[in-house]
């Protein structure tokens, strides 16, 4: 299929007032960051998982990555914060090659929420405090409580993670990500393992947070209705290649 690029009128989401602003968030966290990939590729075992993808995501935008199973959507997302290494091409973060950024700093700035919440053994509070603790910072009980309140889990700090439902675990995962004050959020099918009610709750939570903080967001989803609810612009992938990028409805119709 020939690659088609649509012009887009999507604008970055404006910041709204409200929500917790963690220590160290600063102006950058309120602005979001810019992603740009240039001829980005990843080859594993002779298979091109991501094949020559060039796309730009401006500050504060929500971009949905859509396409059939095996299209390379998750592989592309993992390249954006170096969970996987590119075989060729580059990723620019605010105009700078991200290989010049220490991986720990990059992953603090670019948070990620996976399909399944992978929590560490122990309490909810221990999980939320983990990221800042790696940088020598200790969140106060009040800061942990504020993060939990923001994700709809007040008074959950002392709970053991083994007793959480799927939806609760995903909310804790989001709070743990927010504790690092990221400037961007990568979400890989964040609701596909949940029932409908929990999925819509997580979807609304993510939208609320990225609007409050004007965060840049790239979300992989197989759900076209979810893509339309969350993003103004989409990129369609097939067999690792970028097929189309532009206004959400035009891209979904192209797919």
Q: Inter-axis angle of helices 196-213 and 166-178, to 10 degrees?
A: 10
Domain presence at residue 132: no
- Which strand (E) or helix (H) includes residue 185? strand 184-188
Domain presence at residue 183: yes
Domain presence at residue 215: yes
For residue 119, the 8-state DSSP code is P
- Which strand (E) or helix (H) includes residue 70? none
Residue 170's pLDDT is 95
Beta-strand runs (E) in 6-124 = 35-44, 47-57, 62-66, 88-93, 96-97, 110-113
* Residues in contact with 184: Cβ distance below 8 Å, sequence separation at least 6, in sequence order: 32, 33, 35, 109, 110, 111, 215, 216, 217, 218
Provide the number of structural domains found in the chain: 1
Length of the chain: 255
Domain presence at residue 134: no
Domain presence at residue 82: yes
* 3-state percent breakdown (helix, strand, coil) of the chain, nearest 5: 35, 25, 40
Residue 74's pLDDT is 96
Residue 16's pLDDT is 33
Domain presence at residue 46: yes
* Residue 100 buriedness (CB in 10 A; 0-12 / 13-18 / 19+): exposed
Domain presence at residue 213: yes
Residue 188's pLDDT is 96
The whole-angstrom separation of Cα 97 and Cα 255 is: 31
Q: What CATH number corresponds to the domain at position 232?
A: 3.40.50.300
Cα separations in angstroms, 167 against 50, 202, 211: 31, 7, 21
Could you list the mean pLDDT of each consecutive 10-residue stretch along the chain, which spans 255 residues?
A: 38 34 40 92 97 96 96 97 96 96 92 92 96 92 96 96 95 95 95 91 94 94 94 96 96 84
110-113 and 62-66 strand pairing: unpaired
For residue 79, the 8-state DSSP code is H
Domain presence at residue 73: yes
- What range does the domain containing 208 cover? 4-14+29-114+179-254
Residue 70's pLDDT is 94
Residue 8's pLDDT is 34
């Amino acid at each position: 299929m020939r690659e088609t690029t649509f012009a887009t009128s999507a604008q970055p989401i404006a910041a709204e007032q409200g929500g917790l602003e963690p220590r160290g968030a600063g102006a950058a966290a309120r602005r979001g960051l810019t992603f740009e990939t240039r001829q980005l590729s990843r080859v594993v075992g002779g298979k091109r998982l991501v094949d020559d993808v060039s796309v730009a995501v401006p500050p504060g935008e929500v971009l949905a990555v859509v396409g059939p199973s095996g299209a390379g959507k998750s592989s592309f997302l993992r390249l954006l914060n170096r969970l996987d290494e590119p075989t060729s091409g580059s990723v620019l973060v605010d105009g700078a090659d991200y290989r010049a950024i220490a991986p720990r700093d990059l992953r603090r700035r670019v948070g990620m929420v996976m399909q399944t919440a992978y929590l560490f053994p122990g309490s909810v509070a221990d999980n939320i405090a983990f990221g800042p603790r790696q940088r020598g910072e200790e969140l106060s009980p009040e800061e942990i409580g504020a993060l939990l309140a923001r994700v709809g889990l007040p008074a959950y700090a002392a709970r053991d993670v083994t007793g959480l439902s799927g939806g609760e675990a995903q909310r804790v995962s989001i709070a743990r990500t927010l504790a690092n004050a990221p400037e961007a959020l990568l979400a890989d099918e964040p609701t596909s393992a949940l029932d409908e009610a929990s999925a819509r709750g997580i979807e609304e939570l993510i939208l609320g947070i990225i609007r409050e903080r004007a965060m840049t967001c790239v979300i992989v989803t197989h759900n076209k209705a979810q893509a339309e609810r969350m993003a103004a612009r989409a990129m369609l992938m097939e067999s690792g290649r970028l097929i189309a990028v532009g206004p959400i409805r035009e891209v979904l119709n192209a797919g």
